[in-house]
Structure 1
Amino acid sequence: MGDPLTERPTALRIGLVDAGQISGAYLRTLPALTHLSVTAVADLDAARARAVAATVPGGRATTVKELCAAGDVDLVLNLTVPAAHAEVAHAAIAAGKHVYGEKPLAATTAEARSVLDAAEAAGVRVGCAPDTVLGPGVRTARAVLDAGELGTPVAATAFMTVPGPELWHPAPEFYYRPGGGPLFDLGPYYLTALVTLLGPVRKVVGMTSASRSERTVGHGPRAVTTFPVEVATHVTGVLEHASGALSTLVMSFDVWAAGLPHIEIYGTEGSLSVPDPNHFDGPVRLFRAGAETKDWEDVPVRGGYPGAERGYGIADLAAAHASDTPHRADGCLAYHVQEAMEALLAAAEAGQPVHITSTPVRPAAVPAHAGRAFAAHTSR
């Protein structure tokens, strides 16, 4: 596959749907990326849409229907709640627009499949968060693996263990309803990183638990309010990759503190420490077979978009569109991750392995020179 990063990216005009909290992260990045511009903002709260649109040079507030039909919108950035992801995506695709959404791709794999099928029929692209795997952290680790410095990958571990978002979020109930929980909330970051590093998953086994039937809001005006827990709050699974490597995954809202690594990869010639995939950057450390126990090496940056933030997945999509090559944070990868997460829960309920049917192509490497074609600038 060619390298789209050496091409001049196709200009994309972006319509943002849902001006909630996460929109701020995208709007800090998108206006500073060459050939990307936000032209329209839609939200169920019209006042909020107007307020956010006022912060975007040339942006305007509108409705979702009008945004999808607008002639000055090429891509719809779908930041709605998961239950609305498929509906908004279908409206955008029907209007001939590319779509990039927050994770997950849709509320269920069935809905996600319908989005991908509609996009293929319409000839438009679908992208999906997380794009953190495009940053120097995961991509430097990927470069070490691709260079063969770890030998043959044998296994990996991935841990996300926290006490629960009710300690800081003023309205945490949605984290504990179907579609929430630690697996669906933060699992996409870890699973997307594992697939980027080790390739697709072909089979999973899992077990789950919930330590409490109720949780209590610990912050904000509703503090001490209790609410029911409707999902598993501790998920443990083993993923068998098509390569034969086995990844052990623990996602939990039941752990007060731990000294576990975020991700480690273990190979026949050493071990690799990978930074938190919830962020774009972080230290990558390599231990070579035969070295002293203390002799972990700090690996210099070998790839990834320097200075990447939320929105670089859209910039990557624009560059790939210009060169007619696949973009990296794509819908097929997001679908595969969603299928794997649903399969983990199904395996836990059934008490037996579940096979994964989707087989996405492992996303292309992001070379060290990445981002020159759409480097951040401040000339606007």
Structure 2
Amino acid sequence: MDPVKVGLVGCGNISSIYFQNCLRFPILKLVACADLIPERAQARAQEFGVEARSVEGILADPEIEVVLNLTIPKAHAEVALQALEAGKSAYNEKPLAITREDGRRMLELARANGVRVGCAPDTFLGAGIQTCRKLIDDGWIGEPVAATAFMTCHGHESWHPDPEFYYKVGGGPMFDMGPYYLTALVSLLGPVRRVTGEARITFPERVITSRPKYGTVIKVDVPTHVAGVLEFASGAIGTIITSFDVWHAELPRIEVYGSEGTLSVPDPNGFGGPVRLRRAGAEEWSEIPLSHGYSENSRGLGVADMAYGLRSGRPHRASGELAYHVLDIMHAFHDAACEGRHVTLESTCTRPAPLPMGLAPWTLDP
């Protein structure tokens, strides 16, 4: 199977792990990178043995089939739409876009041009959540009844070198971390039919205490505590809290409650475990051995899976449709909070297929 040539746009902090992992998958051939700051692209190119180019140079290369878009969130749509216009498939870092309108434009353009859209997070393809998926599908907790998900911290201004965007449109805890939790929940329980929620800004200003912007005051423009209720199409009910307003908490990441037991799901911002199960009548929790590979940091799995799809014709799992459904859910929480109502979602998606067991390292099809 011929490898799929990839051009990477956006050489910031997260790009390093993508470079490392894309070079490990035989299905991928990362050939070029670009960044608004040419020196960053040059540094990454030298570090990983690829060519530094302009964005225009990547888009003009007829051999590049996929643009891996690791730009900042507000640039996700612009870069992806340029790639799709050029007849290339686009794989975005999360979120898919800032607005529903841009997300829909991507999907429509991809369909019109016969190419694909993919999007992070791909952590749900890791060993931990794939093990949970198998346990649910095999009936270990019976019929899923409900789920809870919690992401609480006190924001990123104490450690991130440039945290302002976390508090502007496209940021906040729901748009920053919500994609990990919601993508995991949709992978485990299927699409969502309806949501409601509440949201608030607790601290109108934040002071950066990290370097190099120590002392800078950030005006907060987006909700920093969001609580949502999800009605899944399956009938299960979900509860989610994402917050940058919590100093300390003792909460699970994700739990799924079934008619015959409870499943403790590992951190959806990682790829491994632990996975814990407690069936009805059990006196204690049992840690379940991981059934799948990719327990280490495997960012790029979704790109590789899309490449397999391009070669074989099968659907890819970290799809644009899934990412758009998650984007729609996140906006719907904010809409519900502003308007004081339930919001019925216009979008849906197919629950992504589970990964096969027993895959050879750095492969995704048997």
Q: TM-score, normalised by structure 1?
A: 0.93
1:256-314: CA deviation from partner (whole Å, max 9, x where unpaired): 1111000000010000000000001111111111122xx11111112354545111111
1:34, CA displacement in angstroms?
Answer: 1.0
| Aligned-partner Cα distance in 1 for 2:9–2:343 | 35
Task: After TM superposition, list the pairs within 5 Å mapping 1:177-256 onto structure 2.
Answer: 177-256=168-247
Larger relative CO (CA 8 A, sep 6+): 1 or 2?
A: 1
| Aligned-partner Cα distance in 2 for 1:164–1:263 | 20
Q: Which residue of 2 aligns with 1:334?
A: 323
The residue identity in structure 2 corresponding to 1:203 is: R
Task: After TM superposition, list the pairs within 5 Å mapping 1:117-136 onto structure 2.
Answer: 117-136=108-127
| Aligned-partner Cα distance in 2 for 1:260–1:367 | 31
| Aligned-partner Cα distance in 2 for 1:194–1:62 | 38
8 Å contact from structure 1 (residues 304, 367) kept in 2 = no
Alignment equivalent of 2:290, drawn from 287, 294, 301: 301
Kindly tell me: are residues 373 and 47 of structure 1, through their superposed partners in 2, closer, same or farther at Cα, counting changes over 3 Å?
closer
1:353 paired with 2:345, answer no
Task: After TM superposition, list the pairs within 5 Å mapping 1:136-147 onto structure 2.
Answer: 136-147=127-138
1:47, CA displacement in angstroms?
Answer: 1.7
Q: Which runs of 5 or more residues in structure 1 are unaligned?
A: 1-7, 376-380
1:168 paired with 2:167, answer no
| Aligned-partner Cα distance in 1 for 2:362–2:12 | 30
Kindly tell me: are residues 155 and 146 of structure 1, through their superposed partners in 2, closer, same or farther at Cα, counting changes over 3 Å?
same
1:41 paired with 2:30, answer no
| Aligned-partner Cα distance in 2 for 1:170–1:51 | 19
Q: Which residue of 1 aligns with 2:11?
A: 19
1:198-256: CA deviation from partner (whole Å, max 9, x where unpaired): 00001001001111111110111321222211111100000000001011000000111
Q: Which runs of 5 or more residues in structure 2 are unaligned?
A: none
8 Å contact from structure 1 (residues 134, 308) kept in 2 = no
8 Å contact from structure 1 (residues 182, 252) kept in 2 = yes
1:137, CA displacement in angstroms?
Answer: 0.6
1:81, CA displacement in angstroms?
Answer: 1.4
Alignment equivalent of 1:52, drawn from 32, 44, 61: 44
The residue identity in structure 2 corresponding to 1:301 is: L
Bigger drift between 264-273 and 314-323 goes to: 314-323
Aligned residue-pair number: 364
1:84 paired with 2:63, answer no
Q: Which residue of 1 aligns with 2:92?
A: 101
The residue identity in structure 1 corresponding to 2:18 is: Y
Q: Which residue of 2 aligns with 1:31?
A: 23
Q: Percent identity?
A: 52
Alignment equivalent of 1:270, drawn from 246, 253, 261: 261
1:368, CA displacement in angstroms?
Answer: 1.8
